[in-house]
Structure 1
Amino acid sequence: MKFACQHVCLPIQFTTLTLHIIIITEVISYHMSQLRFMVLGGDDALVDKACATILGERENRDAFQFGELKPRKAQVCGRQVSVLKTPFRWLEHLKSYFFFSKRVKSLKYDLQYYESLLFPGPHAFLLVHRDVRNSGSEYYLLRALSEVFGEKVLDYCMVIFIDRAKHNDKKQNTCLKMCGGRFYILQNTDVSQLFKKTETMTQRKHSDFFINHLECFRKAEIYFEAEYEEKMNKLRGELAENIETAENLKKDMNDMKELNAKKVIELNEKIKNDQKKSKDRENELQNELDALKSSKNQTKEDFKLDEELIIYKDREKLLLSRLDSYKSSEKQMTEDIKKLKRELSIYKDRERNT
């Protein structure tokens, strides 16, 4: 599944929603890149060589000493690969009983336990074989797998030959027949074709990897898919609401910008008109005062004009003070507009990134 997200400056719950979607997609991508192999065989050295080749450690002869009972992991061809080597003594054990059912019963717990170590299940069971012309007794291991996990497990089995094993008479090999003729020859360190062959083997099956007790997992899968879909629908609803909030915020920012622009123009016009009127009246009074002074007949009216001139000069100072205040207010509005522009730019950048 692919999800489209738009990032804007919204409340914390929107960021959490986006984070949840990113985590879900990352988890899906991570599981799709994994490959898990359970390797079986009766020749310990040959099995070690196969495991080391798959994990890219073939040149290091001492690296593959399987003392610990756990899968070995490595990054190979861009995939997270896990390899679990099984005991070579299993084959000898299966040959030691007269009745095969008793032999399998004695190994049932071990087989189930090893398979569980590759949870949720191995993508392939690899049976390491030395010679395609000689079936040997390795087919006992395939029979044991079939007895413990059911015949469906053979659909996930493949025979592995080391280096230049001859394979011109593969139809005569019992192990190959049980595995549906699937085999791969490990003759160099490039195992990308083995990975592709494993994907081809499982692509038409219900699951990309073998699952023990498949019916239980299917029921669980149906349950979790329904729960997942319900949660995703809820997340999509919340995402739609937050996108709508972002659009409303963008509209409010544009409206505020237009309103501020109109107010700035009106204030500038009013200040200019007041300044012009004040200057005209000041000039008029100054002319009258000059005329009176030139006649050298200064009367009470002269003093009145002087006082009026002083009043208008004070008014001019007051207007200039108001002008400074308006300019300061205009500057503050400009900064607010710039801040709104930055927030809008951040929103647009995040929207493009998604």
Structure 2
Amino acid sequence: MAQRLQNRDLSYEVNQCTADIKACRFIVLGGNEVLMREVCETILGTKANITEHGSCELREAHDSGRHISVVKTPTNWLERLKTHPFLSHQVKSLKIEMDCSSLLIFPGPHAFLLVLGDVHNTGKEHYLLRALRDAFGEEVLNYTMVVFMHEYEEEDIKMNRCVKKCHERYHILKNSEDSVIKLFQDATKTIKKRMRNLFFTKDRSMLEKAEMYFTQEYISEYEEFKTTEEGLRIKVTEMENQISENLKDSQRLREELQASKSRENQLNQQMDALKKEKSELEEELCALRYLKRLLENLTNERESQLKSDNEKLKQELEQLTANNQRQSQDSVAFLLTKTQHHKSQEQKEEQAPVQEHERLRDLTVREMKLDHREREMLPSCVSTFQVPEDKTKPQEDCGSIVLEEKNVSEIKVKALSQTECEMENKRTVEMLKLTREGSKKVPVNMSKDKKKQGDTGSFVLEGLKLVGQNSGNQSTGHLHGSPKGPDSAYFES
């Protein structure tokens, strides 16, 4: 950061001291091609434009706001001077090439840069300074500067022969921006001391005479041009004033036109708004007319509907009055029947205990009859019928009682074995017990119909018949019975 600020300050100083110099022109001399190229690249940079003119190279670039031109001379100039026995004859042969190199940067170079690689040089670079002096005169050494590419002690530099001939003007050039700026600064300081002769040229007197001639020749024309310029300037000012007035008038007219356009736009907008309002009012009027027609239709329909509804309501009212009369009559009859039914029900409930008592008494009488009949029937069946065991077979439905509606005289008894008779007796006893238990458990509702009292578990044994048939070794006995009500639970023989 400090280095950048220092570089900026140096460039500012150079620009301040050489504000009127817009170009720098240099001619580089030397015997080492590598060092000379390095000096040119350091001064101009790598973006320089290179053009070749014979044996010389012209390099151009822009730096620090100025145009820099550098002419690199060939290294064979020094070789030719060293090898020729007579230096003066060789200088005459190089004079044309030196003049051409100076013409490449017309009107002339600001400085000649002699590049040396060593302070203790033995390459006889001072021959180049002698050739410059012989070709351009003694004054050229005032525009010559020795450039070193390495640092040396100041005493050794001042003892150098070339530095002495250049009046101790030298510069140590490094590959840095500071060193290049310092080179420009040293060269411009030398030029600033001689503001009358900013650059070196061989034919300076001729140029001065030509300048005086052209100045005297064209001074009258210059005066004429100056007067005409003054007249033109006056005319221009008058025309500018006229133009400004015209501009003001045009601006005023433009404003008036703009105002009229704005008024016209406002009127157009008002007309559009009125048209829009008119169309909206027409639409509203049409809508109101349509709504009026709809309202009339609705009122007519409503009136007709009300008339029809009134007629229907009258009819329904008449029908309701008739229905109410019938319903009142029916309700009165229903209430009468209901009260009668309740009375009969209460009477039945009062008579139910008496009927139940009578029924229980009948059941006890029937049980006694059944027990008596059972005792009479069972011993006779056991003592009368005896069948051999070897001739009997398993019987189907053994000991069943067949109850058929026939006379007692038609009863036929079939012979049974003793075990079968005992089993049949047990079954009969169990059946009778179940019959008695069922008759006791089932309650009797005297208020109900007698047909609903049939499932009490009692049996009416009608036409008890013992059928006995001897057909081979088979014997069957059946007891058939048909259930009846509790009032018919007795045996008929």
TM over 0.5: yes
Q: Which residue of 2 aligns with 1:214?
A: 204
User: How much has 1:156 moved relative to structure 2?
Assistant: 0.9
Q: Is the 8 A contact 1:104 1:144 kept in 2?
A: yes
Task: Sort the Cα spacing of 1:43 and 1:243 in 2 relative to 1 into closer, same or farther, 3 A.
Answer: same
Q: Which residue of 1 aligns with 2:135?
A: 148
Q: Is the 8 A contact 2:51 2:58 kept in 1?
A: no
User: How much has 1:97 moved relative to structure 2?
Assistant: 2.0
**In 2: Cα distance, 1:115 partner to 1:254 partner:** 54
Residue type of the alignment partner of 2:33: D
Task: Sort the Cα spacing of 1:208 and 1:67 in 2 relative to 1 into closer, same or farther, 3 A.
Answer: closer
Q: Is the 8 A contact 2:111 2:144 kept in 1?
A: yes
Residue type of the alignment partner of 2:253: E
Q: Which residue of 2 aligns with 1:240?
A: 230
Q: Which has the higher mean CA deviation after the structures are superposed, 171-180 or 31-40?
A: 31-40
Q: Which residue of 1 aligns with 2:89?
A: 102
Residue type of the alignment partner of 1:195: F
- Structure number with larger C-alpha Rg: 2
**In 2: Cα distance, 1:130 partner to 1:254 partner:** 70
Residue pairs, 1:307-326, within 5 angstroms: none
Q: Secondary structure at the match of 1:32?
A: coil
Task: Sort the Cα spacing of 1:115 and 1:103 in 2 relative to 1 into closer, same or farther, 3 A.
Answer: same
Q: Which residue of 2 aligns with 1:188?
A: 175
Q: Which residue of 1 aligns with 2:32?
A: 43
**In 1: Cα distance, 2:134 partner to 2:251 partner:** 81
Q: Is the 8 A contact 1:52 1:64 kept in 2?
A: no
User: How much has 1:230 moved relative to structure 2?
Assistant: 4.9
Q: Which residue of 2 aligns with 1:5?
A: none
Q: Is the 8 A contact 1:56 1:189 kept in 2?
A: no
TM score, norm. by length of structure 2: 0.42
**In 1: Cα distance, 2:247 partner to 2:114 partner:** 73
User: How much has 1:77 moved relative to structure 2?
Assistant: 2.0
Task: Sort the Cα spacing of 1:214 and 1:243 in 2 relative to 1 into closer, same or farther, 3 A.
Answer: closer
Q: 1:335 aligns with which of 253, 262, 267?
A: 253
Equivalent residues, number: 235
Structure 1 stretches lacking a partner, 5+ long: 1-28, 261-331, 339-354
Task: Sort the Cα spacing of 1:236 and 1:95 in 2 relative to 1 into closer, same or farther, 3 A.
Answer: same
**In 2: Cα distance, 1:30 partner to 1:230 partner:** 32
Residue type of the alignment partner of 1:53: T
Q: Is the 8 A contact 2:36 2:115 kept in 1?
A: yes
**In 2: Cα distance, 1:86 partner to 1:257 partner:** 63
- The CA deviation string for residues 310-329 of structure 1, in whole angstroms up to 9 with x for no partner, is xxxxxxxxxxxxxxxxxxxx
Task: Sort the Cα spacing of 1:253 and 1:129 in 2 relative to 1 into closer, same or farther, 3 A.
Answer: closer
**In 1: Cα distance, 2:252 partner to 2:51 partner:** 72
- The CA deviation string for residues 133-157 of structure 1, in whole angstroms up to 9 with x for no partner, is 4464111100000001111111111
Task: Sort the Cα spacing of 1:226 and 1:160 in 2 relative to 1 into closer, same or farther, 3 A.
Answer: farther
Q: Which residue of 1 aligns with 2:22?
A: 33
**In 2: Cα distance, 1:337 partner to 1:235 partner:** 43
Residue pairs, 1:269-348, within 5 angstroms: 334-335=252-253
Residue type of the alignment partner of 2:231: E
**In 1: Cα distance, 2:246 partner to 2:90 partner:** 83
- The CA deviation string for residues 259-292 of structure 1, in whole angstroms up to 9 with x for no partner, is x9xxxxxxxxxxxxxxxxxxxxxxxxxxxxxxxx
Task: Sort the Cα spacing of 1:156 and 1:253 in 2 relative to 1 into closer, same or farther, 3 A.
Answer: closer
User: How much has 1:94 moved relative to structure 2?
Assistant: 0.6
2:119 paired with 1:129: no
**In 2: Cα distance, 1:105 partner to 1:38 partner:** 19
Q: Which residue of 2 aligns with 1:286?
A: none
Q: 2:159 aligns with which of 166, 169, 172?
A: 172
**In 2: Cα distance, 1:196 partner to 1:231 partner:** 41
Residue type of the alignment partner of 2:39: A
- The CA deviation string for residues 214-261 of structure 1, in whole angstroms up to 9 with x for no partner, is 211111222344456555544432332123224444666799999x9x
TM score, norm. by length of structure 1: 0.57
**In 2: Cα distance, 1:212 partner to 1:225 partner:** 22
**In 1: Cα distance, 2:147 partner to 2:222 partner:** 43
Q: Is the 8 A contact 1:35 1:81 kept in 2?
A: yes
Q: Which residue of 2 aligns with 1:91?
A: 78
**In 2: Cα distance, 1:226 partner to 1:79 partner:** 32
Task: Sort the Cα spacing of 1:230 and 1:76 in 2 relative to 1 into closer, same or farther, 3 A.
Answer: farther
**In 2: Cα distance, 1:169 partner to 1:105 partner:** 33
**In 1: Cα distance, 2:156 partner to 2:132 partner:** 25
Q: Is the 8 A contact 1:135 1:174 kept in 2?
A: no
User: How much has 1:31 moved relative to structure 2?
Assistant: 9.2
Q: Secondary structure at the match of 2:31?
A: coil
User: How much has 1:209 moved relative to structure 2?
Assistant: 1.1
Residue type of the alignment partner of 2:46: E
Structure 2 stretches lacking a partner, 5+ long: 1-17, 257-493
Q: Secondary structure at the match of 2:112?
A: strand
- The CA deviation string for residues 297-316 of structure 1, in whole angstroms up to 9 with x for no partner, is xxxxxxxxxxxxxxxxxxxx
Report sequence identity in percent: 37
Q: Is the 8 A contact 1:131 1:166 kept in 2?
A: no
2:42 paired with 1:53: yes
**In 2: Cα distance, 1:30 partner to 1:128 partner:** 28
- The CA deviation string for residues 166-186 of structure 1, in whole angstroms up to 9 with x for no partner, is 433332111111111111111
Q: Which residue of 1 aligns with 2:193?
A: 204
**In 2: Cα distance, 1:72 partner to 1:30 partner:** 23
- Provide the alpha-carbon RMSD of the alignment: 3.6
